[in-house]
Structure 1
Amino acid sequence: MNSENSTIGDVAKKDEDASSLPANHRFLEPVKAVKSITDLAIWEKSEAYMEYTGFIATLNEAIKGKPLSVDCKVSDNVTKMLKMLDIIDNFIDDFPPVEQPQRFGNTAFRDWLNKVKQITTQLLQDALHLKIHVAIPEVKVYLEESFGNGTRIDYGTGHEMSFVMFLCCLYKICYLNEEDNIATVFLIFNKYINIVRRLQKTYRMEPAGSHGVWSLDDYQFVPFIWGSSQLIDQPKIYPPVKFLEDEVIEKYADEYIFMSCIHYIKSMKTGPFAEHSNQLWSISAVGSWSKINQGLIKMYKKEVLSKFPVIQHVLFGSLLPIRRFRH
């Protein structure tokens, strides 16, 4: 893999063996690089931006029209990632919420997150091939930033973005490849979403930013993109306005990520859907899932990827560099 100009597509064609990494590749601990609003233009022309948006588009295409129950390849490396996430998930049991006066932001989350950060190196050493252990100091930072902020005890699209970048890095180092695309979304990412929902409920985490202003709901965005792709060209939830019906939500929440998101929102919020989730309510009027999917990708680029309060926290290293993208 050419560390200077490789793309997700290049990596997907590589053999799963980590020997395809050049011996002279220098991994870097990721750092923040967008320090002001004017730096957003650098980010939007960067290799990291192209890699990240290309990665989302590639997986978006891979799962189009497929339910979660579809038969997909589950490689050993996918299984190892799921095992790692199970361990992280199970740690929540070790740090129950503490009694405290404030309603939101239970401080036990900090203890859980500290525990996760203490063990991520070991977890990744257990999961990754020995030849790519040298990448761990770079990729582990994205994993550690995926679950929320320990100081503010909040969670938002920036943390979600960090996990997608973590997945992207796993492709860049050839740990995952094209054959893993469906399982990456349906198994790994879906498992991650279930963990962060559990964190949100257990520790009553605040939405990051201005009460979820950078998202479709209080916390997530990418599940709506990939989830709407699943619903393209299938008749079960058509026209899209049917996703608002309680019976449809209950029936398909385990089959489609988008419906799982709607089910979660309705379980957490009371009152008219049009009031507490106005953007999603508006989306329901769009005539096709294909248009919804493309519209959500455009909205994500505009409302998340071009917002300084989100991008100021993004980390850049050798795998997702801030340098300008060159064709």
Structure 2
Amino acid sequence: MKLEPWFWHEKSLAANAAAFALSPAALLYDIGQQARAAAARPRKIGAPVICIGNATLGGVGKTPFALALNRLLKERGITAHFQSRGHGGTLRGPVRVDPQHGAAEVGDEALLLAREAATFVAKNRRRGAAAAAAGADVVIMDDGLQNPTVVKDCAFLLVDAADPSGNGRVFPTGPLREPMARACRRADAVVLIGDGAPPVAAAKPLFRAHTTIEPQIAPQAVVAFCGIGRPERFFSALEAHGFHLLDRIAFPDHHAFALSELAMLRAKAKRAKAALITTEKDIVRLTGEAREGVAVAVLRMRIEEEDRLIDFALSKIGAPI
């Protein structure tokens, strides 16, 4: 299944030619982004804001990192509320996520966040953050680094160490929302996900974290599927955990699975005499009978030097360390 343009992650003459054909659109996109930022008047929202973002389109582990950060804050006695745009959801908000909501209404990521802390979704980031600020010591903004309407007291830029910026070009010629150097300047610290060198030489504090999985079944032969930003990370994590992947099927990020697709996946697993497994983020998009017989692997974020990272965040938001 086609997820991203083939030339986003290639550096060849053919890839360069394909990207060059779209360069006028990329220029207009980048000018629009900069004009929006220049025209905006960022405001404080009544509580400190910790923003978790990235420079590329797609996933790099922002939600697992947000959950890990919330745990560290809670250990220090600090109450955090989450704010999400509710990607894939229809509700404009601001609205607090509750157990009655479904992924079609508030998005899959918000449902995961709401299991751990009060979570507010809103298409308008400023209004959503203001709603989340009520009763919170700090608001954790899941994504939103490029949103210019809210003052961020601490901004973490998450970077995939294995593939920091694809071909290094801005959308639609590449996977970048903005040039990596600009994103680094915007952030207060860089968090490398996985092993590898920093994408640019930024004079910012550098942290490192790793994606891990907690599967609910023992390692065995499986048919794995997911609709997340970086599906290869999930598949690789399963293999590293000892699973034998007989098939791997990647859908677009935030994909709304049809019953016919689930039937196809079950048929593949049955023919292969294998278990069917997906991510926690995907399972919340399945309802009722669609979840039956589908095992789940929970994606977690392990942060190196946790104390150093949380001390840094607390110093930025003016909280006692």
What TM-score results when the alignment is normalised by the length of structure 1? 0.28
Higher helix share: 1
Q: Which has the higher strand share?
A: 2
Give the structure, 1 or 2, with the largest relative contact order (CA under 8 Å, sep 6 or more).
1
Q: TM-score, normalised by structure 2?
A: 0.29
